């Protein structure tokens, strides 16, 4: 490594440290961070690697980001891992993803850091669309962390926000037709109570990687007033500096909530 490279590393570390200090001392905090983890495949293709290598590197990045989230004391962290639309991908790619989910969920459930920080792990989505082996790993992770309350780590698997909202609408319609729910009781809070995220606050900040500027059927109801941050970086290349920049951007914005 040349002198210029070492100097670049030193300067980069100094900038990151300053960003971290500024974010931590700022009075505006992120309570719920959500990330659309996009770009594993394109990262692999850009490096002439197999697609499954990109997914493996994406898994490793998620474990790293979870550490950063706990360091920043962000209490709720939600990631979009697999949409219902993604289930139409090639069988070989899906099989590889499912193996990664099984491995990742079991690793997280057995990770001492998860238990030291009392992180509740939960998975939301249409679990009936997932293989039994994945559901067994989900049960394992959820059961081992179910009593924790300090942090909540939510993974969206086989998830689609429109399907989630339709299920809530059907539930409300059934209760209204049966006489359990008067018409005047149907309001925003009633809808929110019937979503997968009923026990969580709405996201403050939603980050999407890979340069795409859309939300792709993710938390449509919940992110009505969330701040959005888009970055060109592919998910496996997402850095702590990029996370801190996103949070700093959020802290600089004035949230109006429609006012």
Active site residues: 38, 86
Cβ neighbours for 39, distance < 8 A, ≥ 6 positions apart: 209, 210, 211, 233, 234, 235, 236, 237
* Of the candidates 256, 190, 187, 191, the residue with the CA atom closest to the CA atom of residue 225: 256
Distance CA 39, CA 56 (A): 12
- How many helices and strands (H and E) does the chain possess? 9, 6
Question: What residues form DSSP beta bridges with 205?
Answer: 33, 227
- Yes or no: say if 108 and 64 are a contact pair by the CB < 8 Å rule: no
* Of the candidates 170, 195, 185, 188, the residue with the CA atom closest to the CA atom of residue 225: 188
Burial (CB count <10 Å: 0-12, 13-18, 19+), residue 16:
middle
Distance CA 178, CA 172 (A): 10
Element (DSSP H or E) covering residue 177: helix 161-177
Q: Which long-range contacts (CB under 8 A, 24 or more apart) does 12-18 make?
A: 12/241, 15/241, 16/240, 16/241, 16/244
- Yes or no: say if 15 and 241 are a contact pair by the CB < 8 Å rule: yes
């Amino acid at each position: 490594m040349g002198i210029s490279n070492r100097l670049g590393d030193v300067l980069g570390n100094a900038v990151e440290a300053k960003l971290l200090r500024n974010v931590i001392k700022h009075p505006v905090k992120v309570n719920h961070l959500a990330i659309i983890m996009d770009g594993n495949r394109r990262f692999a293709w850009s490096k002439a690697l197999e697609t499954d290598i990109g997914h493996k590197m994406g898994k490793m990045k998620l474990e790293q980001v979870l550490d950063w989230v706990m360091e920043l004391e962000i209490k709720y962290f939600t990631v979009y891992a697999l949409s219902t639309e993604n289930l139409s991908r090639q069988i070989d790619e899906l099989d590889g993803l499912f193996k990664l989910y099984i491995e990742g969920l079991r690793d997280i459930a057995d990770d001492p850091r998860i238990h030291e920080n009392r992180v509740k792990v939960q998975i939301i989505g249409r679990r009936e669309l997932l293989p039994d082996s994945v559901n067994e790993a989900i049960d394992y992770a959820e059961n081992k962390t179910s009593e924790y309350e300090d942090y909540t780590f939510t993974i969206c698997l086989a998830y689609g926000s429109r399907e989630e909202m339709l299920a809530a609408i059907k539930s409300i319609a059934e209760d209204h037709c049966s006489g359990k729910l008067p018409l005047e009781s149907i309001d925003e809070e009633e809808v929110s109570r019937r979503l997968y995220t009923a026990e969580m606050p709405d996201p403050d900040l939603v980050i999407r990687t890979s340069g795409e500027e859309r939300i792709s059927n993710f938390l449509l109801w919940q992110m009505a007033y969330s701040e959005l941050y888009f970055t060109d970086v592919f998910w496996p290349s997402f850095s702590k500096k990029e996370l801190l920049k996103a949070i700093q951007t959020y802290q600089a914005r004035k949230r109006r909530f429609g006012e």
